[in-house]
Amino acid sequence: MLEQEDSPDPVRELTRVLRQLADVGSAQPALFPDHAVSASKLVRHFDQRVQIVRETGDGELSAAQLESLTALENKLSTMARDGAEFDADIWTDEAVRTSERWAEVRALAAAAFAEFSGAKDGRS
């Protein structure tokens, strides 16, 4: 179940999760251990939020926003169970911090976050 499932702004919730994915594995979560969220939980939240945004406002998203979401979805899909790059060890805290795969996830999430946060500033 989503934390703020009834949020009036699903894009804002998606943007928040994108920022968290862009930061996952950084040194920052260690400063706030009570607020740390596992990578697998963040991916589930991302999947849920993307689904909601696509169902409620897909027509309102720019081509760049859609492309950035699709690229991140594709990367995570290849890392998930039954994906081409699946490895149970990829979901450990160590792998999240050091793996090339997670570096790619962070880069894709940061790019998507930039697309969505730029849209809030009036860009599209």
**pLDDT for the residue 69:** 97
> Taking a C-beta distance cutoff of 8 angstroms, is the pair 73, 89 a contact?
no
Give the residue extent of every domain in the chain: 10-120
Q: Rg of the Cα trace of the chain?
A: 14
- Of 98 and 28, the one with more pLDDT: 98
Res 83 pLDDT > 80: no
**Confidence tier at 87 by pLDDT (50, 70, 90):** confident
Q: Where are the alpha helices (DSSP H) in the chain?
A: 10-23, 28-31, 39-57, 63-79, 93-98, 100-120
**Could you give the CA distance from residue 20 to residue 43 in angstroms, rounded to a whole number?**
10
Q: What pLDDT shows up at residue 123?
A: 40
Q: Is the pLDDT of residue 99 over 80?
A: yes
Average pLDDT over residues 90-113: 92
